[in-house]
Each structure stands twice: as structure tokens, then as C-alpha cells.
Amino acid sequence: MNKDIFRAYDIRGVAETDLTEKVVVDIGKALGSIIIDQEDNEIIVGRDSRLSSPKLFSYLTQGITSTGVNVIDIGIVPTPVLYFATHKLNSSNGVVITGSHNPKNYNGFKIVINKKTLSEEGINKILNLVLEKEFPKGEGKIYQEEILNYYTDQITNDIELKSNLNIAIDCGNGAASIIAKQIYEKLGCNVTSLFDELDGNFPNHHPDPSKEENMRDLTNAVLDKNLDLGIAFDGDADRLGIVTKKGSIIDADIQMLAFSKEILNRNQGSKIVFDVKCSKLLSEGIEKLGGIPLINPTGHSLIKRRLLEEEALLGGEMSGHIFFNDRWPGFDDAIYAGARMLEIVSEAENKDLLDNLPKSCSTPEINIPVGDKEKFGIVKEFKKRMDFKEAKIIDIDGVRVEFKSGWGLLRPSNTSPVLVLRFEANSEDELKVIKEKFRKILYSINPNLGEF
């Protein structure tokens, strides 16, 4: 068994290679054991549209039911619908089979126990149970329940648009295809829908809205049809991409400024959580708006946990996970977050509102391929070799070095075999200077790292 599939906030690997029948059955047995330990006997299981998901569903539920735990099958759903189901149905436990934004041959499991998404400690517990192989025995059952109608009603009852909007959405042939268009039309929008047929081959583009090349079709649709907004989803619809009326892509941390303003107008002094990859414009903007910014390690389950611990009303990640904890139960949901953005745009007298959000000189997330084990060693060695006496160091997740003129970040990805870098500065020249500082140290550690 490849233990590297047990990651910081989910289980993820290559289907049929890492996620073999034996491994997945044992993961199911481990989940059943955890549920029985907390004196429960049910878990909700959903899945995305990947080609391997039906087979993994069969393996996983075989393992779960063999422990005596019952499975509530909610079918093909976006990941946030699984989260929603743990608040709406009889069970507060759930697992969704999804490879998220990874290549089509990958798949995995995002897991909720007692309404809390598992992170490293909980994932390690599953690993240890799989290794020990001491599972209870029983005969659980599988039965189906409908959840999509409840989810649709919850959003449409919560969101009120002040004006009808003409929008485009890009489902990327992922799980949003089954529900997003219907929800936005029910809210009163005229919807141009791209790539809304479920297809685990993702034939049109990779379902990752954090990459500019995956947003071209949506941008073209918005500009060609003179639409008010474009909304994109990743493969399991828990990450949001936004295109403005003028065709600009708004990064998630800058989206957060618009969401922060709306929330802090009603809730002065509220806390807002964001990850180490986010722009300094966000933290400064939150303070100016009367909120309390809280920086956090990257990871959807880690942001969710901090959000609930701090009773923050909003959370977000540079990757596009947005968490509302005011009128929504605090989980990342791109379909709901998209609806909140529609609400903001519909209320604005100036429909160019999003184009007027502040901008800085910054890079997108930069990924440098390295081995899964090597990436941690490189970051550790970088910390030893760096000597930035004039800078503020934030080392809660890799290392973020904040200079007067901007900042640079280096961290190991928790979902892929890559190093993650991002840079931001007051000018292009200052951005180059900060990048060069990082480049010099990284190439002294490994001169064969890719260009950035």
C-alpha cells in the first residue's frame, strides 16, 4: 500500500493503482470502525463523475457495510452537497468519492465525521486502522436518499437577487453539471451553460478554475455575449472561479474582499480566516472594513476547523475554496459562493463593481514538480539557508517572507508532488527582486528545479 495517499486533509491517489480494491475496502472498514466507536451506525456516501467512482463506491461501501454500518447513498453530487447532507439528513457522517481538480486517473475521499471534515490527525487514524486490520464485523445495508431538492431549496430560499442577471457558468464536465444551472435559473438568472454534461474524461479543459488557461472559454462567453458575470467550478464544485463583466479573472483572495465587505457591513468586528497564499490586500482590506484578519495554513479542512473554532463568519483560500459561516453552515461550496457573488453584483448600482476591486503585482500559484517526499526536505533546507533579517517570517505552513515591498511564499503541496510558490509586490521590479531571492536559495539546494 502506498501510504502517501493518506494526505493532510483527504485521501487521494491513482485509481486502481494506489486505490486498489483491497485498499479501498479496508478504508471502508476503517470508516465503519470509527463510526461504531462513536456509537453511531450510518454514513452518507456520494461520488463525483470520474470514470473510476462507481467502482470505488462499490469497494468502499463493501468495506463499510461489513462492519455493520449502514450506507445512505446520495448518488452523484458535488462535494458541498455531501457536506450539506450531513447537516440535513439523519447522519452527520459522510464521505464523497472525488479526485477534485486532479488529473482524470486520480480519485480519492473527502471525509466528514460528526459534521467535521477530517484533517491530518483523523486521516492518520484511518491509516493506522487500515494497518492494524482489526475491524468489527456486521451486516450493514445500503439505501438511497434524495438530497438535491433540499439543497436547491436551501440556496434559493437564502439568496435574493435585486435584479435579473445574464451570466455564464462553466461546469468543466464535473459534478456541478447536475445542479448549478437549475439553481441559478431558479434565482432568476439567464444562464449560458458551458460543458454541463457529466464526463470523467474532462474533454474540454481540466476542471481547475485557479489556472488561467481553464478560464478562457468562460471569459470568451462573457465578452462575446456581454454578460454580467462568469462563474466556474472545479471537478467537485467546492472551488470557485469568477470572470467579471469586462473579462477579468478575479482571484479567490480578491473575491474575498467583495465577500468581506458585504459581511462586515452587517457584522462589524467579525473574524475572517484565509490561507498563507492570499494577497496582503486581503488582510489590509479586512482591517479597513472593520474586521479581524486571521492567517491560516492552507487546506480546506484546516480552514473549516479554524472558522468554527474562532466563530469567524467567512473563510477562504487562494485556490478558490470559499466558506460562509453566517447564513450557511461553514463549509466550502462554490455553487453557494457563486450565488452570494450574484447577490452582490445584483445589488450594485455599478455593474463594474468587481473590476474596481484593488489589484497588486502578483504571480498566480506556481507549482514546481518534485517528489512527494523530496518537497518537505527542500522546504526544511530553505528555512535553514534563508537569511532575511529585514523581513517578517510566517512559518505556519512552509515559509512566507514579508518584506516592506512585498512577500514570497514557499510551501509543500499537501495534495500533489509539487512545491508551491507565490509572490506579490508593489511593482514588477520589486516582484522580480523577491523572486530572485527565493530562486537563489532554491537553486543552491537543487539546481535542477524547474524555472519560475
Residues 31, 136 within the same domain: yes
Residues 317, 402 within the same domain: no
Q: How many domains does the chain have?
A: 3
What's the CATH number where 74 sits? 3.40.120.10
Residues 8, 91 within the same domain: yes
* Structural domain harbouring 59: 3-146
Instruction: Report strand pairing: 142-144 vs 190-194.
Output: unpaired
Task: Give the type of residue at 104.
Answer: K
Cα torsion 208, 212, 217, 220 to 10°: value is 150
Whether 204 is covered by a domain: the verdict is yes
Residues 133, 81 within the same domain: yes
| Final residue belonging to a domain, choices 332, 356, 380 | 356
Whether 157 is covered by a domain: the verdict is no
Question: For 69, which DSSP code?
Answer: -
Residue 191's Cβ-side half-sphere holds a number of Cα atoms within 13 Å equal to 24
Whether 422 is covered by a domain: the verdict is yes
Whether 153 is covered by a domain: the verdict is no
Whether 154 is covered by a domain: the verdict is no
Q: pTM to 2 decimals?
A: 0.95
Neighbours of 369 (CB within 10 A): 11
Whether 236 is covered by a domain: the verdict is yes
Q: Are 63 and 220 in contact (CB under 8 A)?
A: no
What pLDDT digit, counting tens, does each position of 166-203 carry? 999 999 999 999 999 999 999 999 999 999 999 999 99
Residues 310, 366 within the same domain: no
Q: Are 405 and 434 in contact (CB under 8 A)?
A: yes
What pLDDT digit, counting tens, does each position of 399-433 carry? 999 999 999 999 999 878 899 999 999 999 999 99
Neighbours of 264 (CB within 10 A): 21
| Final residue belonging to a domain, choices 304, 329, 356 | 356
Whether 351 shows a pLDDT value over 80: the answer reads no
Whether 100 is catalytic: yes
The residue-averaged pLDDT of 275-293 equals 97
Whether 450 is covered by a domain: the verdict is no
pLDDT on residue 60: 98
Q: Are 329 and 87 in contact (CB under 8 A)?
A: yes
3-state helix/strand/coil string of 331-352: CECHHHHHHHHHHHHHHCCCCC
What pLDDT digit, counting tens, does each position of 46-90 carry? 999 999 999 999 999 999 999 999 999 999 999 999 999 999 999
Residues 339, 283 within the same domain: yes
Residues 76, 172 within the same domain: no
What's the CATH number where 381 sits? 3.30.310.50
Residues 365, 349 within the same domain: no
pLDDT on residue 451: 87
Residues 236, 133 within the same domain: no
Q: What angle do CA 136, 15, 92 make, to 5 degrees?
A: 45
pLDDT on residue 355: 86
Regarding predicted confidence, which is higher, 351 or 50?
Answer: 50
Whether 404 is covered by a domain: the verdict is yes
Residues 123, 260 within the same domain: no
Question: How many residues in the chain?
Answer: 452
Q: CA–CA separation, 162 vs 346, rounded Å?
A: 5
Residues 340, 198 within the same domain: yes
Residues 169, 298 within the same domain: yes
**Candidates 100, 119, 193, 301; catalytic one:** 100
Q: What angle do CA 439, 4, 252 make, to 5 degrees?
A: 55
